[in-house]
Structure 1
Amino acid sequence: MKLIRDAVWQRMDLEMMQQTLTVILAGGRGSRLEPLTRDRAKPAVPIGGCYRIIDFVLSNCLNSGMRRVLMLTQYKAQSLDRHIQLAWTNYFCRELGEFIDVVPPQQRIDDNWYQGTADAVYQNIYAIERELPEYVVILAGDHLYKMNYRTMVDFHRRKGADVTVGALRVNRQEAHQFGVMQVDADDRLLEFQEKPEHPQATLDNPEVCLASMGIYVFNTRFLFERLCDDATDLNSSHDFGKNIIPGAIADSNVLAFPFTDENRKSDAYWRDVGTIEAYYEANMDLVNVDPQLNLYDSQWPVRSFRPQLPPPKFVFGSDGRSTRQGVAMDSIICQGAIISGGSVMRSVIGAGCRVNSYAQIEDSILFDDVEVGRHSRIRRAIIDKGVRIPPEMEIGYDPVADAERGLTVTDSGLVVIARGELIRTQDAVSTFV
């Protein structure tokens, strides 16, 4: 009897996923991540050595059985589009009705770029309608977390909701960065404030607020009606958090779904890596002995593109007479990297990097194909793809000197080197290519 019941539920889950369309919003500028977003969209920024930010949301979709995906892009989307083609198209079979389509702005409705998150979906309403979904799941493409969206869609369907909002408990001090919700005992939204100056705490804990994750499940017909009404409102910001959700609370069944973490850690993990400091901290957490974000969980894998490169290599061991050692401790070293007589501590080293003899890398993030010259010292730095660090260069030790070279130095002292920048030494100017 149990086998029959399980088979029925599996059949219902499959049908529910086939009736669901996923829309990923991946068109944000990511201006707070500059200069890393100078040449790429925020979801395409590398993280953890061999991943892109977008890989976490797409892995959630795949692991949740959601295989009908529209990804809406806008700014500097070439790198993101190329990554999707290399890493993700093989996981979706068009003949079985599965797809991941990258959709740039088409200006089918008017001549404007996307004016907000709701407007981005509204301008692609024809593409959504063509798939005839019963439910539409809307996701942001620039957050790090693990979540089974199927449970949220099932919650939405069972509760008979018009729209369901993913909800995360956050400290009250941080809540001003989010949409903050008040709910009743049945999870129905009573109030929604987008990034309030004075967030209202939950009833059970004065130090905690219920924040929106930017994840929504809509009944398709309800979504279309609200988007069309919003499009004609000249006073609207055309945003889900500012307009669509608050407007629906008064006359519709709007529910909050508590975040269910698939990360299998004691604390729920969800990160918005929207600033340089937040991005840096998320990477540095990964090199800890027991990182908060588990990348090694075979039950909920995070997928990405793996270039055909040889394994990482460490050369020149200690002979007792020289400090020339190729060594890495508490670090992530990606394929194709060569630690050639240099040392790496608490750092993320991307694919194809080379750290030459006597160089020292500490607490830093190197994107793919970075080369560090002999005797150079790098500390608390983020170095973009393809950069060549000249020999005997020091970065991250003197903020004034780094700023005088034209490098980006944050208030906390992080140094960021983008592709194509120039670095001035005492004797020459070296080009980062």
Structure 2
Amino acid sequence: MGKTIAAILGGGRGERLQPLTSYRAKPAVPIAGKFRLVDIPISNCLNADIHDIFVLTQYLSASLNRHVAQTYRFDVFRAGQVTVLPAEQAGTGQDGWYQGTADAVRKQLLRLEAEDDDDILVLAGDQVYMMDLRDFVEQHRASGAEVSIAATTCSREQARAFGVMKVDADNMILEFAEKPQEDALLDAFAVPGLKAPHTHLASMGIYLFRFKALAELLDVDSRDDFGKHVLHTALERFKLHAYPFTGYWEDVGTIASYHRVNLELTDPVPALNLFSDAHRLYSRQRFLPPAKVGEALVQRALLCDGAIIGDGATVRKSVIGIRMVIGPGCTLERVVCNGAGGYDFEQPHPAGSIPLGIGEFSILRNAIVDRDARIGRGVRLLNERNLDSYQDEYIRVRGGVIVVPRRGTVPDGYTF
């Protein structure tokens, strides 16, 4: 029996997640104040003893490449690798860029150095979930299928945005449709026995291929995308198996969903368990001091290493990222703070300058403060007009959520 090799897709431009993706690749976006999205698929692999991991990157990949290189280093006593494969290495000119999920794997297939009896695990670099990939691989091999697809239940309306499938009693896939829109087609793919609202079986965009089958598919089908194209060819030529997944899974594609997923981690018993020994989430070791809290009120919050919360501050239902400084008297409600790359309070500040973090007596509600942002004193970010979309030189509003962009500055007294 061969080994399992993971290929993690760095994702597209992430336009719906801007401004968080204006200066970084989507998998490099912070999550839970101290991790990056790419840490999730890599950690899932490491927890399953999958140590041959390749991250396929393309857009704005500098910070993603740096994070992977600085975080995942194997020593001489432990075989394995987490290797970044940027699109520029795949060819020259326009042909070098990845045109889709299947095209990305096709252009890097030789660099995976796989044998015919190996399995290739294709993961997205921008999803939030914890999965027992060891069990996924075991069920894939036991099924005798050449291709397995991780699947979760979804509502009829959600099915319009996913690939949906019909399966038999052994979870072998009989039919597959990518993002069906017609009511008749949606009716045809409703799964008997599933109760509303979760009536359909949807692809999670997580695939497991026998290498020989994958190589054949990418050769005979030159199209760009697994879900739209290659899986339909696979269904004609091979046996496909569905792996039912019942745990927490979110595709963080919008500002609103990103904000919600982060805040759900502050629930008393969150659906995504960051405290499980069996599903550890790894990231870069920074050797920071503990979070420091003054005479402040903190309720339902995640406080990350090196954070500082001043006297008189109130923090409710919020994520406070690494090295984040919350000034005295501030009020934060439903705020995701992505932290900072350093401190600047030991340095002299020129008159009129604004230090890193959130200035004293500022009030923020339903907001995201991206990394290294500077918010002045007495700022009010409340979206009192309940705008769904807005933009000025200081902030953005997407889906009703206020965003202070990375390295952005909001002046003293600004009100929105």
Q: Secondary structure at the match of 1:380?
A: strand
1:108 aligned to 79, 91, 105, which one?
91
Superposed CA deviations along residues 213-268 of structure 1, whole A, max 9, x for unmatched, are: 1111111111111101222xxxx3x1000111111212321111112x5xxxxxx2
Q: Distance in 1 between matches of 2:111 and 2:128?
A: 27
Q: Which amino acid aligns with 1:143?
A: Q
Q: Is the 8 Å Cα contact of residues 361 and 378 (structure 1) preserved in structure 2?
A: yes
Q: Is the 8 Å Cα contact of residues 374 and 410 (structure 2) preserved in structure 1?
A: no
User: Cα RMSD between the aligned structures?
Assistant: 2.2
Q: Distance in 1 between matches of 2:386 and 2:210?
A: 55
Q: What does 1:161-200 align with in structure 2 at a 5 Å threshold?
A: 161-197=145-181, 198=183, 199=186, 200=189
Task: Confirm whether residue 355 of structure 1 aligns to residue 355 of structure 2.
Answer: no
> What is the deviation of 1:347?
0.7
Q: Distance in 2 between matches of 1:352 and 1:46?
A: 13
The 4+ residue runs of structure 1 with deviation greater than 6 A are none
> What is the deviation of 1:306?
3.2
Q: Is the 8 Å Cα contact of residues 327 and 339 (structure 1) preserved in structure 2?
A: no
Q: What does 1:64-79 align with in structure 2 at a 5 Å threshold?
A: 64-79=48-63
Counterpart in the other structure of 2:21: 37
Q: Distance in 2 between matches of 1:49 and 1:38?
A: 19
Counterpart in the other structure of 1:265: none
Task: Confirm whether residue 367 of structure 1 aligns to residue 359 of structure 2.
Answer: no
Q: Is the 8 Å Cα contact of residues 59 and 303 (structure 1) preserved in structure 2?
A: yes
Q: Is the 8 Å Cα contact of residues 396 and 414 (structure 1) preserved in structure 2?
A: no
Counterpart in the other structure of 2:214: 223
Superposed CA deviations along residues 381-421 of structure 1, whole A, max 9, x for unmatched, are: 1011111111111012435897455521123x210111244
TM-score (norm 1): 0.84
Counterpart in the other structure of 1:346: 317
Q: Secondary structure at the match of 1:278?
A: helix
Change (3 A) 1:283 1:192: same
Q: Which amino acid aligns with 2:147?
A: V
Q: Which amino acid aligns with 1:339?
A: I
Superposed CA deviations along residues 160-200 of structure 1, whole A, max 9, x for unmatched, are: 21111111111222111211011122222111111111432
Q: Secondary structure at the match of 1:177?
A: coil
> What is the deviation of 1:424?
5.5
Q: Is the 8 Å Cα contact of residues 179 and 241 (structure 1) preserved in structure 2?
A: yes
Change (3 A) 1:179 1:130: closer
Q: Distance in 1 between matches of 2:212 and 2:33?
A: 41
Task: Confirm whether residue 255 of structure 1 aligns to residue 241 of structure 2.
Answer: yes
Superposed CA deviations along residues 91-110 of structure 1, whole A, max 9, x for unmatched, are: x3466541110110113387
Counterpart in the other structure of 1:98: 80
Q: Distance in 2 between matches of 1:204 and 1:383?
A: 44
Superposed CA deviations along residues 65-85 of structure 1, whole A, max 9, x for unmatched, are: 101111101011111111112
Task: Confirm whether residue 418 of structure 1 aligns to residue 410 of structure 2.
Answer: no
TM-score (norm 2): 0.88
Task: State, as a whole percentage, how many aligned pairs show the same letter.
Answer: 37
Q: Distance in 1 between matches of 2:91 and 2:149?
A: 28
After alignment, is 100-109 or 175-184 more displaced?
A: 100-109
Q: Secondary structure at the match of 1:152?
A: helix
1:313 aligned to 284, 287, 292, which one?
292
> What is the deviation of 1:209?
0.5
> What is the deviation of 1:211?
0.5
Q: Is the 8 Å Cα contact of residues 181 and 190 (structure 1) preserved in structure 2?
A: yes
Q: What does 1:25-174 align with in structure 2 at a 5 Å threshold?
A: 25-89=9-73, 92-93=74-75, 96-105=78-87, 106-108=89-91, 111-112=94-95, 113-129=97-113, 134-174=118-158
Q: Distance in 2 between matches of 1:275 and 1:336?
A: 28
Q: Which amino acid aligns with 1:183?
A: V
Q: Distance in 1 between matches of 2:374 and 2:329?
A: 16
Q: Secondary structure at the match of 1:331?
A: strand
Change (3 A) 1:397 1:134: closer
Q: Distance in 1 between matches of 2:237 and 2:290?
A: 58
